[in-house]
Structure 1
Amino acid sequence: MPRLATPLTESQIRALEPRATRYCVADGNGLVIEVMTTGTKVWRFRYTLDGKRQPLATIGDYRMISLRVARAKAQKYAALVAQGVSPVATARRDRGAESKADVLREAAELYLATAMAGKSDEYRRTTRRALEKDVLPTIGNKPIGAVTADDIVTICEQIKSRGSPKMALHTRNVIKRLYAYLIARQLASSNPAAVVPARSIATFDTRTRVLSGAEIGVMLHTIDTSNIRRPLKLALHLLVLTMVRKSDLVESTWAEFDLDSALWTIPAARLNTRADLLVYLPRQAVAMLRELHRARASQNFVFPSVRGDDRPIAKSTLNQAVKALGLEVEHFVLHDFRRTASTHLHGLSPQSEIGNDTAHDEVQDEAKRHRQQLQGWADFVDIQIEAARQTWSEEV
């Protein structure tokens, strides 16, 4: 029985390097990718007809055809072979129908048809809208390599003139992702949107700044894949999930937590309030705190100073960690995590009063409601992180 090929991934294909002679790597079901000595990668279809192995049928250049599309074509050709028909003529017609992405409009269509596969309907809709409404009418007919940073600025200024600075920034980010995709496919050599600072496009009042779901995902994924210390990564994630103030978290002690009950009681004395603050912990937060507890360097503080003395990290430590990452999410401060969580939580539970400020004597059903709401928020955050992770793996 012939050995079945292990299906390839986009990242594996991008990593294939040229050799002294060209070679093929199988994806399965007749689909192979041939790596030329120049580094060019070409999809081919391997098949047998009338009991004889036939020359490979060419599907097309990898830069122009994604793995998903190549598999679909191979499946179509395999159906022809099963009927006793050679797929060569059909493959030739298909190659003729493939647009060569010389100008940005054609490149954008390739991007939408391939990179957007598997994305949510909303993600695809907002990406297509940005391209079709503002980008392509302005620079769609320009060669890919002729688009400049000035073109991006002009487009963003036009959008801002309509009173939509957030949409201008979103559009710049769409162009940036488009060019990252084209660079990965060797269809572009530079990214004109990458040199346009986000802060030059849109500024936000930090008193009202609310991160979008996508921004939450990008931020936390960037934090998680960075080289900052693991406890700081967890602290930043916990700020998002628990909706507490930064000082409440960095000064927390292990005595305040009952992880078995998924409850954090912040003493009134530490808060300078009349009553303790009960923070109900979603399962993701409990898992992070258990990890911190297993690796704890202090018997007292959850986030101890690395200096070895028995005190918590400085309040500025988390700010400095985020600043060092150079995140694309501009004009935000860590307090925006609280505002962002509260805003999104209202959207997830529009008919409820949202908050963590719950007195000890609050009835059990109220506590249950709060737990459900915060667990829903934590699950929502996980979805945003996974979306950012998938986007990063496909575009980098």
Structure 2
Amino acid sequence: MPLTDTALKALRPKDRTYTVSDERGLYVEVFPTGGIVWRYRYRFSGRYEKLTLGKYPALTLKNARLKRDEAASLVAMGESPAQQKQLAKVAAADSTTVKEFAERFFREIQTKDRKDNTIPRRYLDKDILPSIGDKPMRNVTTEDVRSIIWRKKDHGFDAAAGQIRGVLKRLCDYAVTCGLMQNNPVLALPMRHVHKSVSRDRVLSPDEIRVFLNSAFTSNIRRQFKIGLHLILLTMVRKSELLLARWKDVHLDLAEWHIPAENSKTGKPHIVYLSRQAGVLFEELKALAGGSELVMPGRGTLTKPFAHNAINTALKNALQGQEIPAFTIHDLRRTASTLLHESGWASDVVEKALNHTIGGVRGVYNRAEYADKRREMLQFWADFIEKLVRANNVILGRFNKAA
């Protein structure tokens, strides 16, 4: 007996999957989950085949019968509808570009697995897609991914190279799952050969801070880098947050720097309360910016910031010949955190100033911003740093200016 719309609406799931026939090979399959799928069963070259037509109710009874009739016409002409559908899938897979599939991957996998995807998305848009975005996903090779990863390593960003490898591996894993690739080309590049994660604990002593700042300001590196390194120490921000900063977000009249969500590692906006000394440094950077919208426009341009490795190189050059163990720009944040904790400042206040996400139950229930305490703490920190270098008579800035 043929199916009716009323009969379809009355179908209910059971403990096991069951089928209900319509006519001429058309039937629905009802799953325990409640899902209902249209299928067409037919005989081709002496064997039975079945073709999935679509889901009910998105595919109505009337349209399911039309699709069955189209498939039956193919059978009558000596063609297998199931094989035609498989060939169409293969053709689609062959033409799916990395850019197209990456959007699907982020939508279906990445955003569900991770809450904050700011950094993976940045690596995708700035490192992966410019290199292979237009290439069919099926044709991506080990050499393609090696080129992307090693380009980052050659610039001295081993940790970033490791993160890019991670994005590429997960992307290609999902491509294999979806049938777009036979094998994952990233697996030929073990992570241990790209970047070996090492837990860092480098903290500068007060004497080392003095040597660092004195060396930086008496070196021949660009004045912007001298000020930038000093600001990172005073404000406890990440290097990328300063390099991407724009003047529209720096409010010197309020002594506040508003870091927008797109520039923040946490994916949330963050306010940096500026000490008197930090405000003076920002004023000098504004004079050096030459009217650019960027706080630190790059060499020879007003529209693009300095490359991340440029300030790394500047730090290395500034410390040449100094008897001080190596450290990274990121270690300045750890230094500030350690010394402020040792000075008795509350951990939550320090963590908020660092723009860290506080984990556990405290992070869930504690939504305080500690604005007044953070402002007080950052002024204390800037005063502490100023006292360290004052005795050496090195001109870092005119910090006697009124707040």
Do they superpose with TM above 0.5?
no
Q: Which has the higher contact order (CA 8 A, sep 6+)?
A: 1
TM-score of the aligned structures, taking structure 2 as reference length? 0.43
Which has more radius of gyration?
Answer: 2
TM-score of the aligned structures, taking structure 1 as reference length? 0.43
